[in-house]
Amino acid sequence: MKENFDYVGRSYPIHDALGKVTGGLVYAGDMKFPGMLHAKLLLSPIAHGIIKEIDTQKAEELPGVVKVFSYKNSPSTSFSRYRLLPEQENCPADQVLFPRKVRYYGDWVAVVVAEDADIAQEGIKLIDVKYEELPAVTDLSDALESETKIHETGNLIHQYGYTIGDGDQDGEDAEGNQVILESTVRTPKTHHATMETHVCVAQYDFSGKITIWSSCQGAFAVRTIVADFLGLSYNKVRVIKTPVGGSFGGKQEAILEPLAAFLAKETRSTVMLKLNRKECILSTMTRPEVETRLRTTCSPDGKLLKCDIDAVLDAGAYATNAMDYIGGTMGKIAKLYRIPHVNYQAKSVYTNCPVSGAMRGWGSPEFFTAVEVQMDQIAKKLKMDPVTFRLQNLVHPYDMDPVSKISLGNAGIIECLEKGAAEFDWYGRYPGSSGTGRFRIGVGFACAAHKTSMYGGGPEFSTMTLKMNEDGTFVLNTAVQDLGCGSVQSLRIIAGEALGIDPEQILVLEADTDSSPYDFGSYGTRVTYVCGVCTLKVANRVRDQILDVASRTLQVPKQYLKIQNGQVCYMKDKKLHLSFKEIGIISKNKYHLDIIATETYHGVSNPGAYGAHFAEVKVDRSTGLVKVTDYLAVHDIGQVINRSMCEGQVQGAVQMGIGYALCEEIALNARGQVINDSLKNYHVINAPDMPKVRVLLLERGGDDGPFGAKGIGEVAVVPVAAAVVNAVNHALGTDLSLLPLTPKKIVMAIR
């Protein structure tokens, strides 16, 4: 599979690194317009209740305040902020801008629009609200039994399940022997903690058009939601994607834009809506808390026979993506293990907790954390080495996913685990004693699977236009969105490789709904795998046009021409050559030809993305503090496009996953109020707590991505928490499974 690439597989900085290190890059929150107004939200201080009275008069009278909106003077149109396409299914329209009944601590009560942000903030303080507080459902396990109804439809949002093999089968081997293990794993509600909080700017112009500059993941989805919400035609709403200061799914939904657009329209002005950290933690979205019960049966020699999975997902106060989340990658054990009988049942429920939604991995981290913590418990019960146990059950290349009936592709998880175990010296380190004193050392690992696009689950395609300028440079027009993960640079590298020119010579545009061809946006590990192929195909067509012009000009057959570094050469006579610049000029001046192509590419497959992570931890038995002291991440990536960016994606995912395992959780009190609404008490891993992460990328190709590439950004976070939890359990001899493993939980477990 190894090819000699000119550009693919090397290390490149992110495309806009220069703007980022000089401070010159303009994020949405840095934008300024003459007369721009600022909006500030009043959030609900209670988790559940009815607004009995709201008095906004004092705020309205404050000099500099332009307008105040609440349920009294805003549309009662209900909408789904998650809905990507018109008439899309599984998107309950259960939300209005300002509800009369508030459903979580942080729900939107009112907004003040003022000449500057300080005045808007002052205005908020002058609003007087009287609530009738209702009992709140603050734990997912109470949602279904509770008499408290959060929405009229009841607290069950959706139920989804599937069976593989015989769901009623008890799971025995040929001799009727079985080993059964049951466990419950809880994974917490977490904050995306993007360093840039949510922000957008909406501008109304004289023609009735609204332009929105938004730090988002999919501009067309934002346009669709906003236009439908305001009853405007799709060409009267323009969404321009701005540089995104981190997203991880947190900016996938149109959270702020419908309100900002409404405010711009009502005030006929430009309005900035920028959240502070507290508002961002309380009032945007979270990774959902999930409780997963697993009952796994295997033979005494460690062959998996059956798995019963029962999961409950806390959607929070509004459904957003909760219907799709439990049927997306959650519960898909067969992507990772060969297992003849599976019974998966999942429910998503309303609670009076902060709203959950997309977060990096979309169900895979929640689910495979549960699976991998349990797999370690089974191996322990069987007295088998956990690597050996996994190896005899993992999926093989080109196995079929029995649920989706789609091939897992050149699934490389066995190779990941074998190579990782060797590199980490697993067999040498695992049996070693964890010590007897205050500090205990443990090692753990976990395997992970994820998908590589939306193929099989809905429409999956991308359209791009590539044109050559007269000077031999290129512009790729696409609605792909770089979220700070290097997507734009990846597309440049792919196009550069195909065209035979330095990627620097290719400008990649990002989403602007007025001028971009359609694309769904950046999520679902689809960008490299699907949009990357679209780039490759459109670049190959442009390359063909370049060769046509060269052949016509040099009067030699096309098949004897080759391209290298922006030069077309005749292979039989090196003196005959043309630069891209010459071709750009000749095509226009002599042949009156525009070198340009548009391509729509439809996804054709959805192979698994795989990884195996290994962690060493040091646990302080006195304080319960855990430090991750060594880390190895191995991934089946197909083909690396941008090496240092792939490593960075993995290392960043490890930072996020360690927090998921050890310290990150949005915590509520009994009344449903968030008690850690700042970065002071919501802990994310900082530099001194972060181990060195060795990254091993296996380039095995064999699937349909560009040059064989698969995705990395999401799958990299999937195994982290389980690897760390398994290492802690190894160090202490415990079976901890309720994340995060805070010092308190660890100390309690030791006692």
Three-state SS string over 208-239 comes to CCEEEEECCCCHHHHHHHHHHHHCCCHHHEEE
In the bound state with other proteins, the residue whose beta carbon lies nearer, of 26 and 400, is 26
CB of 19 to other proteins, least distance (A): 8
In the bound state with other proteins, the residue whose beta carbon lies nearer, of 74 and 247, is 247
CB of 258 to other proteins, least distance (A): 24
CA distance 614 to 449: 15
In the bound state with other proteins, the residue whose beta carbon lies nearer, of 166 and 423, is 423
* Residue whose token pair is 């408290």: 148
CB of 420 to other proteins, least distance (A): 18
CA distance 705 to 712: 12
In the bound state with other proteins, the residue whose beta carbon lies nearer, of 57 and 678, is 678
Burial label for 120, CB within 10 Å (0-12, 13-18, 19+), is buried
Looking at residue 394, what DSSP letter applies? B
DSSP string, 19-39: HHHHT----GGG---TT-EEE
CA distance 275 to 77: 23
In the bound state with other proteins, the residue whose beta carbon lies nearer, of 436 and 681, is 681
CB of 651 to other proteins, least distance (A): 3
In the complex, which residues of this chain contact other proteins (CB under 8 A)?
A: 11, 13-14, 16-27, 29-30, 32, 192-197, 243-248, 276-277, 483-486, 644-645, 647-648, 650-656, 678-680, 684, 686-688, 690, 692-693
In the bound state with other proteins, the residue whose beta carbon lies nearer, of 144 and 679, is 679
In the bound state with other proteins, the residue whose beta carbon lies nearer, of 183 and 676, is 676
CA distance 459 to 457: 7
Residues 76, 82, 84, 89, CA torsion sign: negative
CB of 546 to other proteins, least distance (A): 31
CA distance 52 to 424: 62
CB of 656 to other proteins, least distance (A): 7
H or E, element range at 162: strand 156-164
CA distance 746 to 741: 6
CB of 328 to other proteins, least distance (A): 23
Structure tokens belonging to residue 521: 């946006």
In the bound state with other proteins, the residue whose beta carbon lies nearer, of 532 and 691, is 691
In the bound state with other proteins, the residue whose beta carbon lies nearer, of 136 and 483, is 483
CB of 700 to other proteins, least distance (A): 23
DSSP string, 578-622: EEHHHHHHHHHHTT----EEEEEEE----PPEEEEEEEEEEEETT
In the bound state with other proteins, the residue whose beta carbon lies nearer, of 15 and 341, is 15
In the bound state with other proteins, the residue whose beta carbon lies nearer, of 21 and 604, is 21
Burial 154-175 (b: 16+ CB within 10 A, else e): ebebbebbbebeeeeeebeeee
CB of 172 to other proteins, least distance (A): 44
CB of 247 to other proteins, least distance (A): 8
CA distance 264 to 111: 13
* Helix 643-662 with 720-732: angle, nearest 10 deg: 50
CA distance 550 to 506: 20
Burial label for 738, CB within 10 Å (0-12, 13-18, 19+), is middle
Residues 539, 541, 547, 548, CA torsion sign: negative
CB of 446 to other proteins, least distance (A): 17
Q: What is the bridge-based pairing of β-strands 108-114 and 65-70?
A: antiparallel
> What type of residue is 714?
E
* Residue whose token pair is 């998880």: 413
CB of 281 to other proteins, least distance (A): 10
In the bound state with other proteins, the residue whose beta carbon lies nearer, of 194 and 477, is 194
In the bound state with other proteins, the residue whose beta carbon lies nearer, of 31 and 593, is 31
CB of 27 to other proteins, least distance (A): 7
DSSP string, 40-64: EEEEPSSSSEEEEEEE-HHHHHSTT
